[in-house]
């Protein structure tokens, strides 16, 4: 029995959620059971009540708003606990076409991909303005470089992933999971695919960020943080070498003037160059230490994955035993 759980992170989506739920598929080829999961991320409206009245199978509620990344992670944990074999994440604003979920899950079911990202065709999407198109293409190009993947729409929230991929991923950012997930998955050598999808216009502004500059800054910080976490040696040593090379410029300048017999008036070049050189060496040392920490993190992640899988086996055995006991109740002994 293959179970698909479609999760929808929500923040004050009582108005748009019914239409989104109505557009979701009830049956998907290759899937035996389709269930819905709504994560109410501290909404002040009746989002959770709407979800319950529409028959959503699972509802997770945050007492206060924690952000999209935390809502996504809560949804994944609940989906895994409910036995999902495939998880699909979509938005509540109706941007994505529910019928295209079948396209997303197909590569996962066929074993060709661990994660599938819906490609909105940013370059030609009529629902995006010119500036947004250029911004999305630039951001996706940066994520492709950092993650060593070939994903053309890095910030698309319409994506599917296998149970194994969900167990191995841990979102660390508080802003958005999209770029963090791709960089993490790419560096963990997961198979990532992209499929074209349809989109709809969303007249209301995004609730994820208040302004474009803020979005750019937060996304940039997320990308830098994720890349440094999974490539600390390259990040720190590369930065250290750049700083050291910059420090060599004033030192060479001093040597030049010293050989000309004019070294007395250029002591500041030694001070500046020496300081930059020391900083560069320290950054390289930090890179080595960070790489050792990263190696330890990999061991911890492997142990965490084994613990999760072992817990699932124990829970499954306990459930099977409970079901068996219900079907064949023990009779009390009589004297």
Q: Are 24 and 57 in contact (CB under 8 A)?
A: no
- Please give the pLDDT value at position 129: 64
Question: For 158, what's the count of Cα atoms within 13 Å in the CB-facing half-sphere?
Answer: 27
Q: Quick one: what percent of the chain has pLDDT higher than 90?
A: 39
What pLDDT was estimated at residue 53?
94
Query: Is the CA virtual torsion 57, 60, 65, 66 positive or negative?
Result: negative
**Which tens digits make up the pLDDT trace of 130-158?**
666 777 777 778 888 777 788 888 888 89
Residues in Cβ contact with 263 at an 8 Å cutoff, skipping those fewer than 6 apart? 254, 257
- The three-class DSSP label of residue 255 is helix
The tokens for 147 are 């993650």
Strand 33-41, strand 3-10: pairing: parallel
pLDDT of residue 108: 95
- pLDDT, position 218: 74
Q: How far apart are CA 280 and CA 236, in angstroms?
A: 9
The span from the CA of 241 to the CA of 34, in Å, is 53
CA distance 86 to 106: 10
Bridging pattern class, strands 159-162 and 86-89:
antiparallel
198 token code pair = 């349809």
What's the chain's average pLDDT?
84
pLDDT score of 326: 63
| Start-to-end C-alpha separation, the chain | 45
d(C-alpha 79, C-alpha 64), whole Å? 21
In the predicted model, residues of the chain with pLDDT beneath 70 are 122-123, 125-132, 203-212, 215, 263, 265, 316, 319, 323, 325-335
**Token duo for residue 81:** 């606990």
């Amino acid at each position: 029995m293959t179970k698909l759980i479609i999760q929808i992170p929500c923040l004050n989506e009582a108005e748009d959620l019914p239409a989104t739920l109505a557009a979701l598929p009830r049956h998907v080829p290759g899937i035996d059971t389709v269930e819905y999961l709504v994560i109410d991320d501290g909404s002040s409206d009746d989002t959770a009540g709407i979800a319950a009245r529409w028959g959503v199978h699972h509802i997770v509620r945050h007492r206060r708003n924690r952000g999209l990344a935390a809502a996504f992670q809560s949804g994944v944990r609940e989906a895994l606990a409910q036995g999902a074999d495939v998880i699909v994440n979509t938005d509540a604003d109706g941007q994505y076409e529910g019928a295209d979920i079948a396209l997303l899950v197909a590569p996962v079911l066929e074993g060709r991909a661990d994660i599938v990202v819906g490609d909105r065709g940013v370059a030609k999407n009529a629902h995006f303005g010119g500036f947004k198109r250029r911004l999305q293409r630039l951001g996706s190009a940066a994520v492709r470089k950092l993650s060593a993947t070939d994903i053309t729409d890095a910030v698309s929230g319409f994506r599917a992933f296998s149970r194994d991929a969900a167990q191995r991923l841990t979102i660390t950012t508080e802003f958005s999971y999209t770029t963090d997930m791709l960089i993490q998955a790419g560096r963990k050598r997961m198979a990532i695919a992209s499929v074209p999808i349809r989109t709809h216009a969303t007249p209301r502004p995004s609730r994820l960020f208040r302004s474009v500059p803020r979005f750019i800054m937060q996304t940039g910080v997320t990308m830098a943080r994720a890349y440094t976490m999974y490539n600390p040696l390259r990040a720190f040593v590369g930065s250290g070498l750049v700083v050291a090379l910059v420090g060599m410029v004033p030192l060479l300048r001093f040597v030049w003037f010293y050989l000309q017999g004019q070294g007395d008036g250029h002591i500041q070049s030694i001070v500046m160059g020496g300081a930059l050189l020391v900083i560069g060496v320290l950054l390289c040392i930090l890179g080595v230490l960070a790489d050792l920490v990263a190696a330890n993190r990999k061991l911890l992640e492997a142990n965490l994955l084994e613990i999760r899988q072992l817990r699932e086996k124990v829970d499954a055995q306990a459930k099977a035993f409970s079901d068996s006991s219900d079907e064949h109740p023990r009779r009390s002994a009589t004297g």
